[in-house]
Amino acid sequence: MTAHVAPILEVIGFSGGFPDASGELVPVLHEVGFGIPRGSSSAIVGESGSGKSITALSILGLSPRGFRRTAGQIRFEGTDLLALDEKSMRELRGADLSIVFQDARGALNPVFSVGWQIAEVCRLHQGLTRKEARKRAQEMLDLVRVPEAKRRMGQYPHEFSGGMAQRAMLAMALACRPKLLVLDEPTTGLDVTIQADILDLIVELKAETGMTTCLITHDLGVVAETCDHVIVMQHGEVREEGTCEQILTDPRDPYTQRLIANSRMVAGA
């Protein structure tokens, strides 16, 4: 269903790496190229070391320390994100582009209340007054089903469970109604039941808002349940891209075939 939809984001020939001890660049991404269709629930899948997270972070202008791009473009609605200065990228990030990290409590600032952090995003990107921003922050915590949102506005990240912290991160990411939400292993380390709740919530919020989502994961079971478009990566290269149905039922690349076979073995264990 997504094959004919114009992409909201295109990664074109994106390459780069990290310097070794001698200063020589060791490539980790090799001409990565794919498109994320507008309105899709996309996923970038692959095992650890496949390059999926570095690619995702680069989309947000958050490349790991030391990473150097050697070629390529990342185009969001026609604009090359890699050509933007830091100020322009900051204005875009959090507004039209947002990310939810896997370690929500680690991503939240421990010295500020959760409500203050969400409100500050609203003030920075939407120009709201402090009162308006606090109201918006509480509305967002209600939206992601944080119980007693008004009371929990004043709590700090360490007072939130892992699942509640992930909901707070979702509230912050969605506060400015982004066009593209990147979710980097958003349920890693959470209890299985809480994982399911968070994923169901993401699917519901996507349906309500119409935003495009891009899930970074190694879990093909999650992909099968939540996504309609899939990019498969291995060793810093895109091995295959297609609809979720095609990738899971008729994979063409040998690596994708092995990945799916291993996933089925784990699921059946």
Q: Does position 269 have pLDDT exceeding 50, yes or no?
A: no
Lookup: tokens for 78: 């026609």
Contact 67, 54 (CB under 8 A): yes
Buried b (16+ CB within 10 A) or exposed e, 116-132: bbbbbbbbebeebeeee
pTM score, two decimals? 0.90
β-bridge pairing 97-100 and 180-184: parallel
Question: What confidence score (pLDDT) does residue 115 get?
Answer: 96
Backbone angles phi, psi at 249, to 5 degrees: -105, -25
Pick from 67, 77, 63, 118: which is nearest to 94 by CA? 118
- How many Å apart are CA 105 and CA 196, to the nearest integer? 19
Residues paired with 16 in a beta bridge: 29, 69
pLDDT one-digit tens code per residue, 68-104: 999 999 999 999 999 999 999 988 988 899 999 888 8
pLDDT one-digit tens code per residue, 136-167: 999 999 999 999 999 999 999 999 998 999 99
Residues paired with 36 in a beta bridge: 9
Question: What confidence score (pLDDT) does residue 4 get?
Answer: 62
Mean pLDDT of the chain: 91
Q: What is the mean pLDDT of residues 103-127?
A: 91
Question: What confidence score (pLDDT) does residue 188 get?
Answer: 79
Question: What confidence score (pLDDT) does residue 102 get?
Answer: 82
Q: Does position 1 have pLDDT exceeding 50, yes or no?
A: no
What is the distance, to the nearest Å, from the Cα of residue 133 to the centroid of all Cα atoms in its chain?
Answer: 24
pLDDT one-digit tens code per residue, 191-237: 888 888 888 888 898 988 889 999 999 889 889 999 999 999 999 99
User: Band of the pLDDT at 17, cuts 50, 70, 90?
Assistant: very high
Pick from 211, 149, 215, 205: which is nearest to 182 by CA? 215
- How many Å apart are CA 239 and CA 232, to the nearest integer? 6
- How many Å apart are CA 22 and CA 63, to the nearest integer? 21
Question: What confidence score (pLDDT) does residue 124 get?
Answer: 86
Q: Which residue is it, tokens 């609809």?
A: 243
Q: In this prediction, what percent of the chain has a pLDDT beyond 70?
A: 96
Kindly give, in sequence order, each residue whose CB lies less than 8 Å from that of residue 218, ignoring residues fewer than 6 positions away.
45, 46, 47, 48, 185
